[in-house]
Amino acid sequence: MEESGKNIEQKSKSSPKKDKVVIHIKGLKKSFGSNHVLKNITLDVKSGENVVVLGKSGQGKSVSIQCIVGMLIPDGGTLTVFGEDVTAMNEKQLKELRMRIGFLFQGGALYDSMTVRENLEFPLTRVLKLKDKNEIDQRVKEVLGGVGLLNVIAKMPSDLSGGMRKRVGLARTLVVKPEIMLYDEPTTGLDPITSREISELILQMQKKYKTTSVIITHDMECARITADRIVIMNDGEFIAEGSFDELKKSKEELVRSFFN
Amino acid sequence: MAETAEQVVPGWKKWLEGSGDQVIFFKGFFRNVFRGGFEWSEFVRQCYEIGYKSFMLVGTTAFIMGLVLALQLRPTLINFGALSMLPKTLAVSIVREIGPIITAIICAGKISSGIGAELGSMKVTEQIDAMEVSGANPLQYLVVTRILATTFMVPILTLLGDVLGLVGGFLAINITSSVSGLLYFNKCIASIDFTDLLPAFVKTIFFGFIIGFIGCYKGYNSNRGTESVGLAANSAVVTASLWIFVVDAIVVQISSLLFYTK
C-alpha cells in the first residue's frame, strides 16, 4: 500500500505539460429528482490555469466540482480528468484520482476531534501511507508554515478563527501535493480583509505548488485576485467566459450585474 | 384524520428504502472489516471512550438495580418461606436478564446517541466528505472502529454491571439482616451455570453490535443541517433500544428452547 502511495506521488510530480487540458467537461447534466441543477455544462481547464466559476447561490456551482471528484455521478455528458472518464471509474481508480485532487470545503471541514497537526498528518498516513515520522513532520511543518500558521500546530480546530480554519484546511489539502485544487467558496463567511488574505494565499499556493485550480465563488474580489479566466454560471449553464476585465465590459446585463 | 392510500404507500416505500440502505451500510461495514489496514489506534481510542467513560454510569445503575431488586424480592420470598433463595434469585435474574438489558439500554442512550450525534455533525460540517474526497476511507476509520468497539466493550461493561448488581444485592440483604459476603457470593456463583452465562454473553455481543451499528448508520446517513444532528442522535437511541428488546426476546426464546425446556 505504501508503494502505491509513492507511485501516486511520482505521478503527481511528473506534472502535465502547460496548456494540456486536465479537466474536460462537455454537456454535463445532473438532476436531483425534478430539480435540474446542471443542464448543459461545457468547460476545459488547462494545466496551471486558475478558473473561477462565478454565479449566484443555488446555481449548481458546487455540484459541478463535486462531479469532478466523483462525489456525485452526473446524469449525462462527458467528464474526464487527466484524460480519464470519471464516471466510468471503479473505487480504486477513483481513490487514485482523488489523491491527485485537493478539495477545500466552505468551512475548511477540519476533523474536530484531532489537533491541527493530526489533521495534516491524516492524509499523509492514511492516503499516501507514509511511515517515516521525520518526513511526515517536515511536510506538515512546511505546508503549515506556507499558510503562516505554524504556531497553531498543537491547537484544536475549535480554538481557531474562521479564516485560520480555512488556511489550515488549505494546508491539509496541499500537504499531499495535489495537481488540481478545487475550492468551494473559499471566502464565504469571512470579513473583507481575511477574504483578501485567503484569495492572495490561494494565488501564492498555486504559484508555489504549480496547481491547476477551479475556484467556486460569488466573491468578486476573490475572482479578481485569483482568476486567469472566469466562467459565469446561471441556471445550470455557463453563460459567459473571459477574463475579469473582459466580462466587466460585457454587453450582457446579467454578466455585468456581477461586477456592479 | 385517516391516512389515504397515497399517504401510506410513500411511508412503506421510505421504510423499504431505509431497510435497503441499512443492508448496504452493513455490507460496507463487513467489507471494510476484512479489507486490511485496520485502524488500531482509533479502535483503542473508541474502546476507551465507549468503555471506560461509560463504566461509572453502568456500574452505578447496576449497583442500584441489584440493591432495589433485593429489597423488592425479600418480602415476597419471606411470604413463601424461601428467603434463603434470595441470592440465587438475584444472581439468576441479574446475570440472565437485568444486567444485560440495563447495560444495553444505558449504552444505547449514552453511546448510540453519542455516535449518532458525532457522525451526524461530521456529516453536516462536511468532515466525512472531506475524508472521502481526500482518498481516505471514512467507513474504515469512523464506522468499523466504532461498531467493533461497542461490540467488544458492551459485553465487558455487562460483566462489570453484573458484579456490581450482585454487590448491590449483598448490601440490601445486609441492611435488614447479617449475611457473610463469602456465603452470599458462594450461593450466587453456585446458582449460575453455563446455560445462564452463555446466552447472556451472546446477546450482549449482539446488543453491542446494534448500539454501534444503529448509531453509526443514523449519524453517517443524516441529512444536511443542524437539525438532523439532533434527529440522528434521537433516532439512534429509539431504534437501538427497540432492536435491543427485539433481539433479547429472540435470544431468550432460542435459549429457552435449547437450555431451559425441563
Task: Choose among B37, B131, B133: nearest Cβ to A69.
Answer: B133
Rounded to an integer, what distance in angstroms lies between the CA atom of residue B139 and that of residue B121? 16
Interface probe with A: pick from B42, B118, B127, most Cβ of A within 10 Å: B127
Phi, psi of B175 (to 5 degrees): -70, -40
- Find out whether A29 and A38 touch, Cβ atoms under 8 Å: yes
For helices A162-174 and A116-126, what crossing angle results, to 10°? 20
d(Cα A213, Cα A202) in Å, to the nearest integer?
9
Task: Retrieve residue B252's grid coordinates.
Answer: 431468550
By DSSP bridging, strand A180-184 and strand A101-104 are: parallel
pTM of the model: 0.86
- Give B131's contacts in chain A (Cβ within 8 Å): 111, 122
* DSSP character at residue A175: T
Q: How do A50-55 and A212-217 pair as beta strands? A: parallel
All domains of chain A, ordered by start, with CATH? 2-259 (3.40.50.300)
Residue B177: pLDDT over 90: no
- The answer to whether residues A63 and A72 touch, using CB atoms and an 8 Å cutoff, is yes
The residue-averaged pLDDT of B137-161 equals 95
Where are the extended beta strands (E) located within chain B?
A: none
Q: Which residues of A9-41 are buried (b: 16+ CB within 10 A; e: fewer)?
A: eeebeebbeeeebbbbbeebbbeeeeeebbbeb
pLDDT digits (tens, 9 = 90+) for B22-79: 999 999 999 998 887 788 999 999 999 999 999 999 999 999 999 999 999 999 998 8
Beta-carbon separation of A71 and B129 below 8 A: yes
CA atoms of A252 and A173, how far apart (whole Å): 37
**Cα distance between residue A186 and residue A216, in whole Å:** 8
Q: Which residues of chain A have pLDDT under 50?
A: 1-16
The pLDDT value given to residue B107: 95
Query: Would the CB atoms of B134 and A173 count as touching at under 8 Å?
Result: yes
Among partner residues A110, A112, A127, which is closest to B136 by beta-carbon distance? A127
Share of chain B above pLDDT 70, in %: 95
Mutate to test the interface with A, among B17, B133, B140 (most CBs of A within 10 A): B133
B41 touching A (Cβ < 8 Å):
no
Report which DSSP code applies to B177. Answer: S
Q: Using alpha carbons, list the distances in angstroms from residue A251 to A240, A257, B260.
A: 11, 10, 87
Instruction: Using DSSP bridges, classify how beta strands A76-81 and A84-85 pair: parallel, antiparallel or unpaired.
Output: antiparallel
Q: From the CA of B103, how many Å to the nearest CA of chain A? A: 27
Name the pairing type of β-strands A21-32 and A76-81.
antiparallel
What's the pLDDT score for residue B225?
Answer: 78
Is the CB of residue A22 less than 8 Å from the CB of residue A16?
yes
pLDDT of residue A251: 82
Among residues A62, A77, A58, A72, which one has the least CA distance to residue A235?
Answer: A58
Answer yes or no: are the C-beta atoms of A76 and B113 closer than 8 Å.
Answer: no
**Contact by Cβ (8 Å): A107, B125:** yes
Q: Give the pLDDT confidence score for residue B211 in this predicted structure.
A: 97
By CB atoms closer than 10 A (0-12, 13-18, 19+), residue B253 is: exposed
Q: What is the ipTM of this complex?
A: 0.84
Long-range contacts, stretch B158-162, CB < 8 angstroms, 24+ apart: B158/B99, B158/B100, B158/B103, B158/B104, B158/B200, B158/B201, B158/B204, B158/B207, B160/B55, B160/B58, B160/B59, B160/B62, B161/B58, B161/B59, B161/B61, B161/B62, B161/B99, B161/B102, B161/B103, B162/B62, B162/B94, B162/B95, B162/B99
pLDDT over threshold 70, residue B1 = no
Residue B54's SS3 state is helix
Query: Which residue is associated with the grid cell 481510542?
Result: B45
**Cβ separation of A127 and B125 shorter than 8 Å?**
no
The overall average pLDDT reported for chain B is: 90
Whether A82 and A97 have beta carbons less than 8 Å apart is answered as yes
**pLDDT at res. A18:** 58
User: What is the Cα–Cα distance from A42 to A55, expressed in whole angstroms?
Assistant: 15
Tell me what pLDDT residue A4 has: 46
